[in-house]
Chains A and B, each alone.
Chain A
Amino acid sequence: MSTEPALLTDAAVPAPRPTNLFAGLARDWAVLFGAAVILVMIVIGVGAPFLGTVDPTEINPTFRNRVPGTEQTIRRADGTTATYRHWMGTDSLGRDVYSRVLYGARISLVVGAAAAAISIAIGLVIGLVAGYLRWLDGIVMRFMDGLMAIPAILLALAVVSLFRAGIVSVIIAIVVPEIPRVVRLVRAIVLSVREEPYVEAAIMTGTPTPLLLIRHVLPNTVAPLIVQGTFVCASAILLEAILSFLGVGIPPDTPTWGNIMAEGRGLFRVYPHNIFFPGLCLALTVLAVNMLGDGLRDRLDPKLAKRM
């Protein structure tokens, strides 16, 4: 039958740790912290319009490069005035950095989640096929070796140079270097699972290959892939920010953390706030996702946890 119960009992047994009780507790604290920060970022991203923001793309030539905390009096069409405080200052085009940072959370989260989901999905299919069809394995894995020999950022830069700048091309650029890593992981799992008695038994009883893969092999990949997906998500958020920062990612008027920093580069000496606030959010988010990933790895994948 299904291998799921066995998997669950495996996962329920925490990784054997030679250290004291507090180590386990600290791990849980790290997972909680990671999850909490991610949750806050999701709330910020979704609720950006309701969190006291203004239009993040609105340019104001008379109110450029203001330091954090500067107040601005806005005259409305009906003659009344209102005061708006730029908590994080304005950039060199007079746009409100606070609004841009909050809206920027959306892009980071969407790119992170999409890149993780897509690279896992594609990698899973290729890995399952390569691990099972021996004649295809050699060709596919040599191809993956070739892809992995190109450092991730260079591969991503090459991909964005081919397409028009935009969120889709950025996601493609991030997914391409991640796929070989997922393929390798899935293939390794398939190769070890093939030798298990229950798989041999299933082959003996004449289970067709597609069913065998889905029912007996696939469940074994779930836990490692969740862990891998978290790490892909973290590096995707970083890579998107890097591409945007270098000016080859998402178009510069779109508020993303990388774009805000790219815009602030020129006047960094005088106005470091354009780099400081988005940089802090970016580092915090990536740290949170990584901590969640570390915690999940220890809980779901004790073998891998021991190796790291």
Chain B
Amino acid sequence: MAGYILRRIVATIPVMLIVAVLVFLMLRLTPGDPAAVIAGDNANAEQIAAIRTRLGLDQPIVVQFFIWFGQILHGDFGESFFFKKSVAELIVSRLEPTLALSLSTILIAVLVAVPLGVLAAYKQGTVIDKIVMGFSVLGFSVPVFVIGYSLIYLFAIKLNWLPVQGYQRIADGVGGFLARLILPSLTLSVIYIALIARMTRTSVLDVMGEDYIRTARAKGQVERKVLFNHALRNAAVPIVTIIGFGVALLIGGVVVTESVFTIPGLGRLTVDAVLARDFPTIQAVILLFSFVYVLINLVVDLAYRVFDPRIRY
């Protein structure tokens, strides 16, 4: 078991290394002097020269990579010439809104999607099943920003129940924080609900034919307990996998949702950085999000054992 965990952790290193190489190469693929590109449009010759020394641009490209990578391992992502701050500082200041949005989205999605999926599986072939599956296809197809603006229009403008846009830090009052978090989280959770509900349904359907389900029913177990204690517990592995896998969707959705709701998080930072061609920030954000994505999937893999003790390594 310990050996497996170690092997699994070690296996993520080449993936992250390749991501780092890709992100590094990104700048070398642009035409022109990388130092000038990093410095931005308004830099003077002195600033460009400083960057050139810092990145060791006169060295061979492999050496340049290790200089750059070494700095990143020390938490030094460079300087954002657009925001006039160090990139690390910039990211830390944008962390809270994105974390709050992502966590509340995952919470809503799991709480809604898993019961929906179980219900659809239990009522397989009925109208309820078709409605859930129809919603699932719809959830994949309606763009995040269309959902976002529809919710704003209905709940903030027409009904005037919630604030239209913006973000309030949790330290400045929990009420305002939650009120501004509801609509973006609901918006972002739609695609996630679609994904998890579909996987839950399939996974529970697979399990429902097993002998132990018949045994549970034969011994007179109530149907609710058959579904949630026997079926869902055994169907958990694919569901947890898809939650981890769906984090990629979630990260993409964060970028769009933060723009729709004008939330000053990492997603908005990414778009602003791309618009300003602020490469140190773009590189840092991509590395960070990819690292989180890989890490979550690692945790999910390791969590299998908790959900399914039959899996032995």
- Which residues of A are interface residues toward B (Cβ below 8 A)? 18-20, 23, 26, 142-143, 145-147, 149-155, 157-158, 160-162, 234, 238, 241-242, 245-248, 261, 268-269, 272, 275, 279-280, 282-283, 286-287, 290-291, 294, 307-308
Contacts and interface: CB of A to CB of B under 8 A. Distances in A.
A165 B18 CA distance: 27
B21 A246 contact: no
Given A146-B19, A268-B149, A286-B143, A151 B274 contact: no
A151 B153 contact: no
Interface stretch (B42-50, B85-93, B289-297): B289-297
23 contacts: A26-B130, A145-B15, A145-B18, A146-B22, A150-B286, A150-B289, A150-B293, A153-B252, A153-B256, A154-B251, A154-B252, A157-B274, A162-B26, A234-B140, A234-B141, A242-B252, A246-B255, A246-B274, A248-B271, A279-B143, A279-B146, A287-B137, A291-B137
B164 A269 contact: yes
B16 interface: yes
Contacts of B180: none
B22 A150 contact: yes
Given A19-B125, A161-B279, A153 B137 contact: no
Sorted nearest first, the 4 A-B pairs with minimum C-beta distance are: A146-B18, A153-B252, A287-B141, A279-B146
B125 A23 contact: yes
A248 B248 contact: no
A308 B149 CA distance: 31
A102 to B, nearest CB: 18
Given A242-B256, A272-B149, A286 B271 contact: no
A18 B21 CA distance: 48
Contact of B202 (A20, A26, A245, A308): A308
A246 B143 CA distance: 13
Contacts of A280: 146
Given A150-B286, A246-B255, A282 B146 contact: yes
Nearest to A291: B137
Interface string B126-149: 000010000001101111111001
Contacts of B248: 151-152
Nearest to A163: B30
Nearest to A145: B15
Q: Is the interface on chain B under 10, 10 to 19, 20 to 34, or 35 or more residues?
A: 35 or more
A290 B143 contact: no
A54 B164 CA distance: 34
B142 A261 contact: no
A246 B153 CA distance: 20
Given A157-B270, A268-B153, 15 more contacts: A18-B125, A147-B18, A149-B293, A150-B289, A150-B290, A151-B249, A151-B252, A154-B270, A158-B26, A161-B277, A161-B282, A242-B252, A275-B145, A290-B141, A308-B202
A146 B21 contact: yes
Contacts, number: 138
A91 to B, nearest CB: 15
A157 B254 CA distance: 13
Interface of B: 14-19, 21-23, 26, 29-30, 124-125, 130, 137-138, 140-146, 149-150, 152-153, 157, 164, 198, 202, 247-249, 251-252, 255-256, 259, 270-271, 273-275, 277, 279, 282, 285-286, 289-290, 293-294
Contacts of A149: 15-16, 18-19, 290, 293-294
Contacts of A287: 137-138, 141-142
Contacts of B16: 149
B290 A151 contact: yes
A143 B18 CA distance: 7
B271 A150 contact: no
A154 B14 contact: no
A146 B19 CA distance: 5
Contact of A154 (B137, B152, B198, B255): B255
Contacts of A161: 273-274, 277, 279, 282
Nearest to A157: B274
B140 A290 contact: yes
B201 to A, nearest CB: 10
Contacts of A143: 18
B29 A153 contact: no
A242 B143 contact: yes
B28 to A, nearest CB: 10
A30 B137 CA distance: 11
Contacts of B142: 283, 286-287
A286 to B, nearest CB: 4
A307 B249 CA distance: 20
A85 B293 CA distance: 50
A162 B209 CA distance: 52
Contacts of B256: 153, 242, 245-246
B281 to A, nearest CB: 10
A220 to B, nearest CB: 25
B153 A282 contact: no
A19 B22 contact: no
A65 B217 CA distance: 64
A283 B146 CA distance: 8
Given A161-B274, A241-B143, A142 B251 contact: no
